[in-house]
A = this chain, B = another copy of it.
Amino acid sequence: MNDDAMDLRARNKQATREAISHAALRLAIEQGPHGLALVRVHDIAAAAGVSSRTYNNYFSSRAEAICAFQADQSRRAGQALRSRPAGEPLDQAVIAAMIELYTDPEPDKAGLRMIMSTPELEGEALKAFTMAEGPLVEAIAARTGTDPGRDLFPAVTAAAIAGAIRVAGRHWLEPGNTDSFATVLRHALSCVFPATPPEGPRDR
């Protein structure tokens, strides 16, 4: 995260990666959901200032490059939950952590609309949201004292959270909606926790 913590090589690599994914998303937004096929690999690479071959060293498909930002954000979900106070109940911790992660800053509506409403990107977008689950499972298990290998609760809850975030994004993009993303996300996550989950480890 902090550039000073990496050597020059790692910083350059990170910068190249971000330049490519940023260029890919920008060009995709320019063409809109229906003109994705017009965004050539050559154009993305040129816009990022690298060769087409280098683009392929970082991403193996346009979809992967376009959705990279979303995927990176999802990867931070576990860390966001872990950074909440230890005593905080799971539902409150999850809601606070996810709102902080996904609304700082407010998501780019055009970018989110691009990756969530383009059929060719659908699979990669789902992968991006699903990437939050792995880290979340560990964080939830640690907070609730359950064993993710024996108890399905952490994995199911993580999947439900990721699904709620996705649903919140879809709802936020709808034309008539005027609420902030934080508001929508809070409502969506509240549906995941209608009641506080049971105390201590569960049987099986």
- Residues of chain A having any CB pair with chain B under 8 Å: 63, 122-124, 126-127, 130, 152-153, 155-157, 159-160, 162-164, 166-168, 170-171, 184, 187-188, 191-192, 194-195, 197-198, 204
Compute how far the CA of A160 lies from the CA of B162 in the bound complex, rounded to whole angstroms: 9
* A204 / chain B contacts, CB cutoff of 8 Å: 187
Q: Given A123-B127, A194-B197, are A167 and B171 neighbors across the interface (CB < 8 Å)?
A: no
Residues B171 and A163 in contact, CB atoms below 8 Å apart: no
Of the candidates A123, A124, A195, the one having the most CB atoms from chain B within 10 angstroms of its own CB is A123
Q: Given A152-B167, A152-B168, A171-B152, are A160 and B122 neighbors across the interface (CB < 8 Å)?
A: no
Query: Measured between C-beta atoms, what is the minimum distance from A45 to chain B in Å?
Result: 23
Of the candidates A153, A156, A187, the one having the most CB atoms from chain B within 10 angstroms of its own CB is A156
Can you report 25 residue pairs joining A to B where beta carbons are below 8 Å apart? A63-B123, A122-B123, A123-B123, A123-B126, A123-B127, A126-B127, A126-B130, A152-B164, A152-B167, A152-B184, A152-B188, A155-B170, A155-B171, A156-B163, A156-B192, A159-B163, A159-B164, A159-B166, A160-B160, A160-B163, A160-B192, A187-B204, A194-B195, A194-B198, A195-B195
Across the interface, name the chain B residue whose C-beta is closest to A204. Answer: B187
Query: Measured between C-beta atoms, what is the minimum distance from A49 to chain B in Å?
Result: 28
Residues A156 and B164 in contact, CB atoms below 8 Å apart: yes
Of the candidates A157, A167, A195, the one having the most CB atoms from chain B within 10 angstroms of its own CB is A167
* A130 / chain B contacts, CB cutoff of 8 Å: 126
Query: Measured between C-beta atoms, what is the minimum distance from A152 to chain B in Å?
Result: 5
* A187 / chain B contacts, CB cutoff of 8 Å: 152, 204
Given contacts A63-B123, A156-B163, A194-B194, 15 further A-B contacts (CB under 8 A): A122-B123, A123-B123, A126-B126, A152-B188, A153-B191, A155-B167, A156-B164, A156-B167, A157-B191, A159-B160, A159-B164, A159-B167, A162-B163, A194-B198, A195-B195
Of the candidates A152, A153, A164, A204, the one having the most CB atoms from chain B within 10 angstroms of its own CB is A152
